[in-house]
Chains A and B, each alone.
Chain A
C-alpha cells in the first residue's frame, strides 16, 4: 500500500495539530492541581527543616494539614539581596532559586522564611540548591536566631543512587547537621562534609556518605554557595 507524498504530508500535519490540541488542553486543565501539589511539597519541606509538621503521615488530608501548619509556624517570609537588605515586590514563595542562583551575586534575591516554634523560639529557614551526581539536589537549612547554629536541615534530590547518594534525604544524615555552626571566629566557613574517619569531626563538619562521594561533595558545595549569599544578612541581623 503506497500513498502519495501529499497524503503523507497532510496526514502528518493533521495528526500533529490534533495531538497538540489534546495535550495543550490536558496540560492547562490539570495545571492548578499540579501546582497545588508542588506547593504543598515545598511547604512541607520548609516545615520539616524546623521539625514541624511531624504528623503529616497520619493527617487525613495532607494539603489541609500542611497549609494549616504552615500558617501557624511560618510567621514571615521575605527576600534579601547580597547586601542583606530586604527586596520589595517579589513573591517570596514563588521565587525560583535555580533562576536566582544563575544571576550574578549582586542581583540575586534570596528567600528567608521566619518560623516561630511552639517553645517561643524564632528560627530562620534558608533554601539551598545545588548539584548531586545525577541531577539537582536541594533542601532547607534552619538557623537559630544567633545566625550561626544550625537548628535543622532537610535535603531532597531528584535522582541520586538509592542506598548511596540518596541517603542525603534520610533523617540519619540530616540529623548530623543539628547544632553545627557556620561561623568560625567570626568568619564564614559553612559546614564541610568529610570522609568518615579522615579527620576528627568539628562543629563545622559532618560525615559524608560512604559510596556517595560526589553527592556529598555536591552537598558541601551547595551549602557553601547558597549560605555565603546570606552573609551580609546575617551580619545585619546580629547587630
Chain B
C-alpha cells in the first residue's frame, strides 16, 4: 500500500506546478529577487541573455538532480561545500562547452558564466528544494526556476537591445535613416546600455506583475 502511494505519474499536476510556478507566482527574479547581479550584466543584447538563460537552466536542473540523488549521503556538516562543488563542476563544464561550440557568445558572456556558480537561485533551490525532495521533482524544480529566470532575462534584454542599440537579436529593427547621424530624428538611448537600466526594467516588471497578481502584495 505504501509503495502505491509513492508512485505518482511523472507529470502529475503537482510536478507540473514545479515547472510553471516559477514562471509567475514564485519567479526567482521578480518575487524572490535572486540572481539580480547576472540579470544586469548579460541583458544588453538578446543573444547572450538567451545563452545565459539556457546555461542557467542546465545548471540548476542538473545541480538539483545530482544533489537530490546524493541527499541521503551528504554529510550535514559539509553540505554547503558539497553543493558548491557540484555546482562549480557543472558550471565549468558549461563554460568549456560554450568555448568549444559558440565561441563568440562565450566571449561576450566572459566572466558571467563563471559567476553562475554564485547565482543565488541555484544554491537557493538546492538548499530549499533538492535536499528534501526526490530527484525527479528536484529536476523539474530546477528547470522551472531556470525558465523563470530566463523569462525575465529575455524580457529585459529585448527592451534594452531595442532601445539601446535599435536591433533585435543583432538584426536592425530601427532603420539607419532614422538616426540623427544620418539626418533623421532618432537617437539610441545610451542609458539602456548601462547596467542601472536593467534594474529599472526589472523594477517595472515587478510592478506590472504585482498589479496584476494581488496575492503577491504583502499585507501589513
Interface residues of A (CB under 8 A from B): 1-3, 7-8, 11-12, 15-16, 19, 22-23, 26-27, 30, 33-34, 37-38, 40-41, 158-159, 162-163
If over half of A's interface residues share one DSSP class (helix, strand or loop), that class is named, otherwise mixed; here it is helix
Name the B residues within 8 Å of A12 (CB-CB). Answer: 78, 81-82
Q: State whether A7 touches B75 (Cβ < 8 A).
A: yes
Name the A residues within 8 Å of B85 (CB-CB). Answer: 15-16, 19
Q: State whether B92 touches A23 (Cβ < 8 A).
A: yes
Contact indicator per residue, chain B 29-67, by CB within 8 Å of chain A (1) or not (0): 000000000000000100000000000000000000000
Cα distance A159–B194 in the bound complex, in angstroms: 14
- Can you show 23 pairs from A to B with CB atoms below 8 A apart? A1-B76, A3-B75, A8-B77, A11-B75, A11-B78, A15-B82, A15-B85, A19-B85, A23-B89, A23-B93, A26-B96, A26-B97, A33-B100, A33-B101, A34-B96, A34-B103, A37-B99, A37-B100, A38-B103, A40-B103, A41-B107, A159-B110, A163-B193
Q: CB-nearest residue of chain A relative to B82?
A: A15
**B16 within 8 Å of A by Cβ?**
no
Q: CB-nearest residue of chain A relative to B107?
A: A41
Q: State whether A30 touches B100 (Cβ < 8 A).
A: yes
Name the A residues within 8 Å of B73 (CB-CB). Answer: 11
Cα distance A30–B89 in the bound complex, in angstroms: 15
Name the B residues within 8 Å of A26 (CB-CB). Answer: 92-93, 96-97
**B120 within 8 Å of A by Cβ?**
no
Cα distance A7–B77 in the bound complex, in angstroms: 11
Q: State whether B75 touches A159 (Cβ < 8 A).
A: no
**B114 within 8 Å of A by Cβ?**
no
Q: State whether A41 touches B103 (Cβ < 8 A).
A: yes
Q: State whether A2 touches B76 (Cβ < 8 A).
A: yes
The 7 closest A-B pairs by CB, nearest first: A37-B103, A33-B100, A30-B100, A8-B75, A3-B75, A163-B193, A19-B89
**B190 within 8 Å of A by Cβ?**
yes
Cα distance A8–B97 in the bound complex, in angstroms: 32
Q: State whether A162 touches B194 (Cβ < 8 A).
A: yes
Name the A residues within 8 Å of B194 (CB-CB). Answer: 162-163
Give B171 Cβ to nearest chain A Cβ, in Å: 12
Name the A residues within 8 Å of B92 (CB-CB). Answer: 23, 26
Q: State whether A27 touches B76 (Cβ < 8 A).
A: no
Q: CB-nearest residue of chain A relative to B89?
A: A19
**B115 within 8 Å of A by Cβ?**
no
Q: State whether B193 touches A162 (Cβ < 8 A).
A: yes
Q: CB-nearest residue of chain B relative to A156?
A: B107
Docked complex: B178-210 residues within 8 A CB-CB of A: 190, 193-194
If A11-B82, A12-B78 are given as contacts, then 15 extra A-B residue pairs at C-beta distance below 8 Å, sorted by A number, are: A2-B76, A7-B75, A8-B75, A11-B78, A12-B81, A23-B93, A27-B96, A30-B96, A37-B99, A159-B110, A162-B193, A162-B194, A163-B190, A163-B193, A163-B194
